[in-house]
Structure 1
């Protein structure tokens, strides 16, 4: 197991460019299975979860041609569907939650798709019902092996059939999976209560460039007119909004002057304004974000009636749950109090005990809510040894360590590497004292 050793308390300065979006890449890479023609994907992040998915695609028989860094051409003209029923696939697919999104494309193009119970972050229950109920609505037959937690769907001989469906939740991966299955179905499918995150919009735009007929992109009502086949295309992945939010939090906590390059402002939604509510100065400079050094700290803005500021997650265009851990850490040094309400995952706030050990004032009300009483930098966090429980908690603890007094050790950094590309190298480039061991 690798560790990071971090000497905190040093202001950083410089420019940092966000990697390609992990959550978009997981969808886009699965979509290459929908055609036998070449699909070129640019701005692919070099992180553990994405590399695992690329390896899985290669084992399925997808041809992989690496171009310049971050650019790969895929061709799924000789897919070995039989690999899905091997023990090797059960182990490989179960190690990555994003592998669930290969099921829709495989079902649409080859008539069947299987997946073991996917792994991923230990942040609470993450149901798959939306995915499989969508496939069943399209006419697929579902089976589940309880002994080895193996899910399977198969289409009828006449193929999938378009239908109208109302999703029980606006699941991003569920919507993506259903859309990828529906693009090759017979007839028209409407998906209401669909997720409308920018990354889902990107998937729909890519599919349309391949010959799909999807309308309503960006809304919660998608209409998909099935086509017989899809062709190749070239697609560029957006910058990662979660990483952009992480850098905003890092700048504020370490009182650093940082410019975040090429952030795609139009796809950031509420992220900039949510950090502004914490008192953080964020300037738009063309397509960059400039954050000055907050030498005098940052003061939380209360609600109009003077009530404590509450920051809660919600489906897009609401605030993304992946950044609540960052907001919580940033709030520990704000002037004022903040209520963090994590609605979607019941285990995501349990890392706060590590921040309390560092001297943060946090009251965990229940698995979903925590009140943070900011220090206003009057009491610096103390260095400690801690372990990263998941990707987002891991980067939050790293930010806390970079702001703390003394040398901290973070264990289980593979969790951070799952979502952040060469993070230690990129942090050292702007002055961070961080060593991988």
Structure 2
């Protein structure tokens, strides 16, 4: 189990460039299975979860060539479908939640898709019903082996249909879209997710020859085509990492520039951090955060009541940033209620912040009230274990702002989502060592 040693209380300075978007990469990489032609993908983040998916594709028989840092070509012209029934696949697929998005492309192109019950973060129930109900609506037969926790869908030919999703699931929408592009007839998906990463997937599929309209809205119309061709695609920067660096700059009272952030795809993120009192300046396509010498003050609502920050489907705030926002609020002036609606275990890392001296009231599994210290009392260094990717980075930000030397164990969780994070933080002045 890997460990970070962090000497907190250092002022950071300089520039940091966000990696390619993890959540986009997991969708885009699965889409290479939809064509026998070559697909080139650029700005792929070098992180554990993405590398696991690339290895899975290689085991499936996809020809993969590395062209440079973050740049690969994929050619799925000789896919080994027997691998899907192997014990090795049942083991490998279980270790990565993103592997669920292999099913849609496999079903669309080869008439069958299988997946073991995927793993991922331990942040509460993450059901797969939306995915499989979508495939069933398209005409697939569903089966589930309870003994092996193994899912399967099969169809001679998928047929387009109308469907209203029970939730605006990003991965569910992506999976259904990838299945529908090769279906016969027209598929209409209402209550579709419309995140920038899902928009990126749709734009890429359209360049490959798909016919998807309504991109960016929650009503997608897909006219099925017989085949798709190759293309080249570049990932957006990771908005969760961008939010992490904003929070880090504020908590450490540091002057930072976050480079090439794709401002137009950040949605509510700059607005929410400004509500916490953090100053952000747009400089071209960069975010400049000045040194917050006098701290930052949380805005109340116009009637004076306490601010609530909650997650919501896009264009609402992504749930992946709530852990970071909670940590940043611990040193603000004022109070805020954090409402995490989607996952019932994501706020359970709060006990580590309490050990560090933060004032947080965990109201229930979904809500926490934070009373900010206004830097009058700094967080204290401690030893902690990273429970998931986002909580792990939140604890890392807390440790970088705390007095003394902190230890974070189980940093493999952080490595799943953040590329060479210790090297990149050292480059802007952080004192962090990987043990």
Task: Verify same fold: TM over 0.5.
Answer: yes
2:236 to 228, 231, 238: 238
How well do the aligned residues superpose, as a CA RMSD in angstroms? 0.3
What SS is found at the alignment partner of 2:241?
helix
> Match for residue 8 of structure 1?
8
Q: Provide the C-alpha distance between the structure 2 equivalents of 1:357 and 1:409, rounded to a whole number of angstroms.
A: 13
Shift of 1:228: 0.2
Structure 2, unaligned runs of 5 or more:
none
2:43 is the counterpart of 1:43: yes
Q: Provide the C-alpha distance between the structure 2 equivalents of 1:255 and 1:337, rounded to a whole number of angstroms.
A: 19
Cα deviation digits, residues 33-58 of structure 1 (max 9, x gap): 00000000000000000000000000
What SS is found at the alignment partner of 1:301?
coil
What SS is found at the alignment partner of 1:67?
strand
Matches within 5 A, 1:10-409: 10-155=10-155, 157=156, 159-409=157-407
Q: Provide the C-alpha distance between the structure 2 equivalents of 1:423 and 1:295, rounded to a whole number of angstroms.
A: 26
Structure 1, unaligned runs of 5 or more:
none
List structure 1 segments (4+ residues) > 4 angstroms apart after TM superposition: none
Q: Provide the C-alpha distance between the structure 2 equivalents of 1:295 and 1:284, rounded to a whole number of angstroms.
A: 20
What SS is found at the alignment partner of 1:51?
helix
Q: Provide the C-alpha distance between the structure 2 equivalents of 1:134 and 1:285, rounded to a whole number of angstroms.
A: 42
Q: Provide the C-alpha distance between the structure 1 equivalents of 2:68 and 2:127, rounded to a whole number of angstroms.
A: 37
Q: Provide the C-alpha distance between the structure 2 equivalents of 1:200 and 1:82, rounded to a whole number of angstroms.
A: 30
- Matched pairs, number: 435
Q: Provide the C-alpha distance between the structure 2 equivalents of 1:361 and 1:248, rounded to a whole number of angstroms.
A: 21
Cα deviation digits, residues 129-176 of structure 1 (max 9, x gap): 000000000000000011111000001x3x000000000000000000
Q: Provide the C-alpha distance between the structure 2 equivalents of 1:305 and 1:154, rounded to a whole number of angstroms.
A: 56
Q: Provide the C-alpha distance between the structure 1 equivalents of 2:298 and 2:349, rounded to a whole number of angstroms.
A: 23
Q: Provide the C-alpha distance between the structure 1 equivalents of 2:186 and 2:64, rounded to a whole number of angstroms.
A: 33
Shift of 1:338: 0.5
Shift of 1:110: 0.3
Q: Provide the C-alpha distance between the structure 2 equivalents of 1:320 and 1:24, rounded to a whole number of angstroms.
A: 14
Q: Provide the C-alpha distance between the structure 1 equivalents of 2:86 and 2:148, rounded to a whole number of angstroms.
A: 13
Q: Provide the C-alpha distance between the structure 2 equivalents of 1:266 and 1:313, rounded to a whole number of angstroms.
A: 19
Task: Tell me the TM-score normalized by structure 2.
Answer: 1.00
1:412 to 410, 413, 419: 410
Q: Provide the C-alpha distance between the structure 2 equivalents of 1:144 and 1:200, rounded to a whole number of angstroms.
A: 27
